[in-house]
Amino acid sequence: MPQTRDRPRASGEAFDARVRALWDAIVFDNPDRAMPMFFPVGAYQQVKDVPNPAADWRQRLVLAYAHDIHALHATLGADAAHARLVEMDVPEKTARWVLPGEEYNKIGYYRVFGSRLRYQVDDSARAFDVKSMISWRGEWFVVHLSAIK
């Protein structure tokens, strides 16, 4: 289905389910569990103006996503068994519509930097940074957990 200009919201059943999938992937060190929260390949093929976007998605973005999930799991260490998801904090007020041609894209999307995946270990509040999320049809998806590669 084609992209829309629907402004994404960091709330709702679908968003919460994707956040839980990302959290479970980090806790259990299993990147495959986090794929529902990752920008879909079909959308990436429509958005990006790069040669062979599906290959770029697989060979660059998905590999970086998996690497970052493994690194976040390692950061949890022994606390993984006691860590509890609190929320994904998305600074929606700073989100902006990215025009075609700005980021090697053929069509526009909303982009937001600086989200935080908040969690708790015992009485200690902690968070992981989420570098970049972009929208597809009014829904937020992670495209870069850490540095943009």
pLDDT in tens, 26-78: 999 999 999 999 999 999 999 999 999 999 999 999 999 999 999 999 999 99
Q: Which long-range contacts (CB under 8 A, 24 or more apart) does 20-26 make?
A: 20/85, 22/88, 22/117, 22/142, 23/85, 23/117, 23/119, 25/69, 26/69, 26/72, 26/73, 26/76, 26/117, 26/128
In DSSP terms, 117 is beta-bridged to: 88, 128
pLDDT digits (tens, 9 = 90+) for 73-127: 999 999 998 999 999 999 999 999 999 999 999 999 999 999 999 999 999 999 9
Any domain includes 8: no
Q: Answer yes or no: pTM beyond 0.75.
A: yes
Any domain includes 93: yes
Per-residue pLDDT at 124: 95
Any domain includes 95: yes
Per-residue pLDDT at 149: 61
The amino acid occupying position 139 is E
- CATH number, domain of 67, equals 3.10.450
130: containing domain: 13-144
What is the count of structural domains for the chain?
Answer: 1
Any domain includes 105: yes
Measured between alpha carbons, how far is 15 from 22 in angstroms, rounded to an integer? 11
Any domain includes 3: no
pLDDT at 139 over 70: yes
Any domain includes 88: yes
Any domain includes 49: yes
